[in-house]
Chains A and B, each alone.
Chain A
Amino acid sequence: MNMNASTPRVEMRGICKAFPGVLALDNVNLTLMPGEVHALLGENGAGKSTLIKILTGASTKDSGEILLEGKPLSFQTTGEAQALGISTVYQEVNLIPAMSVTKNLTLEKTVGRFGMISWRKAREMAREKLRRLKLDIDIEQAVGSYSVAVQQLVAIARALDDDTRVLVLDEPTASLDAQETAALFDIIRDLKSRGIAVVFITHFLDQVYEISDRISVLRNGNLVGTGLAKDITRNELISMMIGRELGEVEATFAAKSNATKGEPVLVAEGLGRKRTLKPFNLTLRAGEAVGLSGLLGSGRTELTKILFGAIRHDSGTLSVGGKSVGRSSPRYSINSGIAFCPEDRKAEGLVGELSIRENIVMSMQAKRGWLSRVPRRDQERLAEEMIKALAIATPNADKPVGQLSGGNQQKVVLARALASQPSILLLDEPTRGIDVGAHAEIITLIRELCQKGLALLVASSELDEIIASSDRVAVLRDREKIGEIEGADINREKIIQMIAGDDGH
């Protein structure tokens, strides 16, 4: 550690920022030393993303000052911040979906002369950047054609510049699995050794302890404290974040459910689609939670989407509640009691301009049809219930969803699925970006629903989540379902073994 370098790389002093109805940051100080990894923690909506947006020129502060190596900074655009060596990966993947990977990686970076671009150099630069992350993809394809995780990696690759002085990572690992996370951490360690200051925001406490030197915690827009990672215990950290102990909830998290398996409610036989997913069999039973595990790009998202009808299957049969489904579609599925949380909340999950309330009632309303509108009072009651149950941080239910913090947006996606009172729930990366406290509560909530007879399918890249929440785990590899494990077999080693493919086939 390089903590004795005298001048801080960045000093933020007395930062305040208000949004209509919310004081997002209230007099927050943050100091970044060269060569340190500084973890920034806090509940959903605590103000982490807002703070780093101010640091990186994406948002303006109401008051306070920022010093870069002792010199006051005043910039209005992210371009200026980039020129000063502040590189950022924002929480919502910020890339241009329709542009190729190459273009995304080299946008506003110098390749060529006199404003002209040398595409040959650009491609070299792009390959070089991806190589550092061990990502091997076709760089001429549009970024939008890749999964969220790959996009996340591309965004990270983009931020890795040679002249970076400060690297800001806002929940970079939210949709990565262990392997990618490890590759990222190798790079971070390398950067650290070159004296670069890194800000790292995450909700995974293990990762905090693995990589960071110092920790700052925000709560409700206030800085609760800053300290060395090695001096703060896990429990202290959690109580700093959520203002109370979590022991009790964590205990539920760990406990295995003992729900009795009910009738099969969804049966897929030989279901599949060419070039997308090999035919698979899968049965979901009432009261049972099934986990879906696999590596990046193994087809978890496709499997859930096929079950939901968002991708049409071209082989096999699907039956829901005993009735066989011919042409499935999201509408049909919703009407037959299936709810689905997509993985990409920005593109597929939310209607950003509509309010929290409207987003929450949408599926339920779609199920009832356009004529029987959910009365306004019921809408409000439902929204309030969901806001409370999922601890969505918002001044009121009429705030446009797009203005919520990332984790809170994710909760709204979940809330919508739950509000439609499904009998089958399909979740794709349901807790992406959700804080520890809420995470545990959500798992508990879903567990309760299971006990009441809900059939659940959870696709997740977080093994712990899968292990904690599922009664049965289906494992995917290379767009093929390769097996299921049940009961006591569900443990890290077994799953990793299957995913990796060295289980003796």
Chain B
Amino acid sequence: MNSKYLPLAATIAVFLALFLIGGSLYRNFLSTLVLGNILADNSFIIIAAIGATFVILSGGIDLSIGSMIGFVGVCMAVLDSLGWHPMATAALMIVFGILFGALQGLIIDFCEIQPFIVTLAGLFLLRGACFMVTLDSVPIHHEFVDVYNSMKIHLPGRGWLRSSAIVMLISLFLGIIIAHFTRFGTNVYAIGGDKESARLMGVNIRKTTVMIYALGGFYSALAGVVYALYTSSGYPLAGSTLELSAIAAVVLGGTLLTGGVGMVAGTLFGGMILGLISTLIIFNGSLNSAWIMISSGILLFAFIVLHRFLVSSFNVKGT
């Protein structure tokens, strides 16, 4: 096996191990219902994380994800109450997401300001914009939402592949194609690997950076649409700190935060591991709030250590 697939393989192995452990501990855990839930309940995190994967692969970071999800949600809800069709607002919001991301990318490259800070300002700005749109949580009543939520595929057993999960899997496929089979994708890796070299090798840094953050904006706006349809409402505080989950999903999926190394497919499993950790804690159910927080840290730690152990032991055998 090529060594670049090692982290991904280890991530998958640990995911399966955790899933099996959960199954042995809790009744009804080992089922397609739980698996389907994990896919659906994390679909927007994973969608946003796919965008974040590109950004992180390029050596950047995008903190505006959570706010974007909230902002898209409130806009969809408010426009719904004004009689817009959700698909129309979705299209509008995705265009907005792309433009907003592109603007962030432009500021990052043209002004030479660090992505962390530009997107942190983006986080404040979009969250503030949510409050401008509405302070209340607003339901989306359009019947399209019911149609959307009823589109699901039955899995063997009790489980469902819900519409959100389907959208997520399609975006994942798209992400994999972009990352691994386009010039743009290769340029992303190049910039993340060594920006100065990439520039000298003829990569147009400005264009690529703008496109990377535009793609990030696209995915986070899409995540916002999925979130809004999933909860059929908009809420100005929705998605707070989701950017951290998204980044964690990317990194758990084997992508290096320093850029240049990683795979989009890993992000799927990274996101599912986060979901699995939460689900395990809920199934346990006997912890108080304090222990719930502590144990998510412990499980995260356990995962990371197990992952490192697997990667290094594979490595020794491989060479």
Contacts and interface: CB of A to CB of B under 8 A. Distances in A.
Contacts of A98: 189, 193, 260-261
Interface centre among A96, A99, A115 (most CB of B within 10 A): A96
Contacts of A142: 4
A95 to B, nearest CB: 6
B201 interface: yes
A117 B183 CA distance: 6
Interface string A391-412: 0000000000000000000000
> Which has the most chain B C-beta neighbours within 10 Å: A82, A116, A275?
A116
Q: From DSSP, what is the main secondary structure of chain B's interface residues?
A: helix
B202 A82 contact: yes
A138 to B, nearest CB: 10
By secondary structure, the A interface counts as loop
B190 A94 contact: no
Contacts of B198: 96, 107
Contacts of B199: 58, 77-78
Contacts of B183: 108, 115-117
A99 B2 contact: no
A58 B205 CA distance: 12
A351 B266 CA distance: 33
B266 to A, nearest CB: 15
Nearest to B198: A96
B196 interface: yes
Contact of A103 (B186, B194, B196): B186
A103 B260 CA distance: 12
A187 B198 CA distance: 25
A412 B186 CA distance: 35
Interface range, B side: 20 to 34
Contacts of A78: 199-202
A79 B204 contact: yes
A106 B190 CA distance: 11
B319 A77 contact: no
B182 interface: yes
Contacts of A107: 186-187, 190, 198, 201-203
Contact of B202 (A77, A97, A103): A77
Contacts of B4: 142
A142 B189 CA distance: 12
A280 B185 CA distance: 46
Given A79-B204, A99-B260, A115 B184 contact: yes
A456 B260 CA distance: 39
Interface residues on A, range: 20 to 34
A105 to B, nearest CB: 10
Nearest to A111: B183
B319 A275 contact: yes
A115 B198 CA distance: 18
Contacts of B204: 77, 79
B316 to A, nearest CB: 11
Nearest to A140: B2
Interface in B181-228: 181-187, 189-190, 193-194, 196-205
A88 interface: yes
A90 interface: yes
Contact of A97 (B185, B194, B200, B319): B194
B197 A95 contact: yes
Contacts of A106: 186
Interface of A: 58, 77-79, 81-82, 88, 90, 94-99, 103-104, 106-108, 115-117, 119, 140, 142, 158, 275
25 contacts: A58-B200, A77-B202, A77-B205, A78-B199, A78-B200, A79-B203, A90-B200, A94-B196, A94-B197, A94-B200, A95-B197, A96-B194, A96-B197, A96-B198, A98-B189, A98-B261, A99-B186, A103-B186, A103-B190, A107-B203, A108-B201, A108-B203, A115-B183, A117-B185, A117-B186
Given A88-B200, A142-B4, 18 more contacts: A77-B199, A77-B205, A81-B202, A82-B202, A95-B197, A96-B194, A96-B198, A98-B193, A98-B261, A99-B193, A103-B189, A104-B201, A107-B201, A108-B183, A116-B181, A116-B183, A117-B183, A117-B186
